[in-house]
Amino acid sequence: MTDWTAGYVADIGYTFGYYQELNPHRVKLAFLNQGLVFPEVGSACELGFGQGLSANFHAAASVTHWHGTDFNPSQASFAKELAGASCAGAKLYDEAFAEFANRPDLPDFDYIGLHGIWSWISDENRQVIVDFIRKKLKVGGVLYISYNTLPGWASFAPMRHLMTEHAEVLGTEGRGIVSRIDGALDFAEKLLATNPTFSRANPLVADRLKGMKAYNRHYLAHEYFNRDWHPMHFATMAECLAPAKLQYACSAHYLDHIDAINLTAEQQAFLKEIPDPMFRETVRDFMVNQQFRRDYWVKGARKLTALEQAEQLRQQNVILVTHRPDVSLKVTGALGEADMSEAVYAPILDLLTDHKAKTLGQIEQSVKDKGIAFAQITQATMVLTGAGHLALVQDDAVTARAKKQTDKLNAHLCQKARGSNDISYLASPVTGGGFAVNRFQQLFLLSIAQGKKQPAEWAQLVWQTIAAQGQKLVKEIKTLETPEENLAELTAQATAFAEKQLPILRALQIV
């Protein structure tokens, strides 16, 4: 019998995650910050879309035509269900990369995205992907790719290999991958308890192993226990992508653009002495001990003039997506936690408190009497967006066209939330992507849709829904046993939701 999995974990589904870096709309600000020309994305493709949340959110919340594949048929089936619910027209398949690449009905793409997949597939599949990108990515098009990176994984790689071997050799096949993962974790923990020389030479291994035990086993199965697992140096990635004529553009993780929170002054000075930009990127990975890269590559990089860059930055629209009092003026980079300048950030945040979209040019005019330079506004936008407090806003015409699709998709997801907490996101036509909305918040939205106006009414309806399924809330690791306790907690959550999240969801046109 042919093994269609090619060594990839397929007996347990991938997590229902949403990955904002896959949103093509985010390319624009990253490229503008680097002074690069960015493409208008009319057609896009995601390779290895998992459960399909990102692909479906980006299809529903935009006017971009999306294609994609994931070889796991159960995941592809779920993704197709979401595509049908939104009526966004996403064409999603359950084909292996080689089969998908040979489809005669695929358009050329302005954008191709892969999240994580690169690290978990064979050399043969990586070659198929590079050939696909070479043939199907348009000139000027962008590739987003994320992957496990060296040197950050160097110390843990031997332990990962040992656990995978334990799961394969000593694990019981009939008990499933979750049981084998738990057995491998237990074995590794007992091994470290013997104080081997390896752990003394690599003291961070024990901390990482401890952290793994808290992760969802579905995530661990796909992250650590595939047959193929290949962390890669940045320079090796560049060699792999060279046949597709790709050039490195910049990081898709906005906080990587801010040297002050990632590199010491001495490190920044050292890097500036390195003339080759690609080698400089490799050295930077050593400085921050990079473990996971999220990168944009472009087929034919072109520079904007300083005037074009400034004009287009000033036209960029942003919106505050965090309750203003909850925005911490701290940010975490490779150097640890750093403070944001209150003199710069507070006026910008105060201006955006109404959760209405504003351009960077409008912000500049509104805070000019505070002595805040436009370069500071640009950097603050990168930091606040990277930290999840700001989101980039699409054109009004795109938002209006996408809203019917996101309304249908969100209604479908809120109905699913009645019996499941798998999906903690809804789609916004304003941002072109997903936004975190947990199960109870989705159920509050269902209550609002049914005409309930007060938080107490929302809580009552939610309690009726979960109580009928024998479910109870857990607060501070303690199960709430009585109906009164559950209803009180739900009412408190509903009240906070009405004050903090609901105005934002309205601004994002999710409600």
Task: Kindly report the number of other CB atoms within 10 A of residue 181's CB atom.
Answer: 25
Q: Which of 182, 199, 224 is the last residue of a domain?
A: 224
Alpha-carbon distance of 359 to 381, in angstroms, equals 11
Q: Are residues 35 and 128 in the same domain?
A: yes
Say how far residue 279 (Cα) sits from the centre of its chain: 27
Q: Give the domain-ending residue among 193, 209, 224.
A: 224
Cα-based distances in Å from 219 to 16, 75, 165, 205: 10, 14, 18, 19
Note whether 62 and 142 are same-domain residues.
yes
237 with 212, same domain: the answer is no
The count of domains in the chain is: 3
Residue 248 and residue 119 share a domain? yes
Listed in sequence order, the DSSP H helices in 87-121 are: 97-101
Say if residue 5's pLDDT is above 80. Answer: no
Neighbours of 289 (CB within 10 A): 15
Q: Are residues 67 and 141 in the same domain?
A: yes
The model's pLDDT over 393-443, given as tens digits with 9 standing for 90+, comes to 999 999 999 999 999 999 999 999 999 999 999 999 999 999 999 999 999
CATH of residue 260's domain is: 3.40.50.150
CA–CA separation, 286 vs 291, rounded Å? 10
Beta bridge partners, 69, equal: 47, 93
What is the 8-class DSSP label of residue 478?
Answer: E
Q: Residue 222 above 70 pLDDT? A: no
CB 266 within 8 A of CB 273: no
- How far apart (Å, rounded) are the C-alpha atoms in residues 388 and 147? 21
Residue position matching structure tokens 């009405």: 498
**Residue 354 falls inside a structural domain:** no
Q: Which two tokens stand for residue 176?
A: 């499933």
Is 89 among the domain residues?
yes
- Report d(CA 413, CA 16) in Å as an integer: 12
3-class DSSP state of 355: coil
- CA pair distance 304, 298, nearest whole angstrom: 14
Instruction: Respond yes or no on whether the N-terminal peptide bond of residue 151 is cis (omega within 30° of 0).
Output: yes
Specify which residues 331 forms β-bridges with. 338
Per-residue tokens: 446: 């269902």
Percent with pLDDT over 70 in the chain: 95
Q: What is the pLDDT of residue 174?
A: 52
Count Cβ neighbours within 10 Å for each residue of 3-30 and write b for 16 or more, e otherwise.
eeebebbbebbbbbbbbbbbbbbbbbbb
Strand, helix or coil at 342? helix
Do residues 205 and 279 both lie within one domain?
no
User: What pLDDT digit, counting tens, does each position of 79-105 carry?
Assistant: 999 999 999 999 999 999 999 999 999
Joined together, the tokens standing for residue 331 give 């940010």
Judge if pTM exceeds 0.75.
yes
Tokens in use for 425?
Answer: 């996101």
The pLDDT score that the predictor gives to residue 15 is: 75
Query: Which among 224, 249, 268 is the end of a domain?
Result: 224
Closest CA to 110 of 80, 79, 86, 133: 133
Range of the domain at 293: 20-150+230-298
Whether residues 138 and 165 fall in one domain: no
pLDDT for residue 1 is more than 80: no
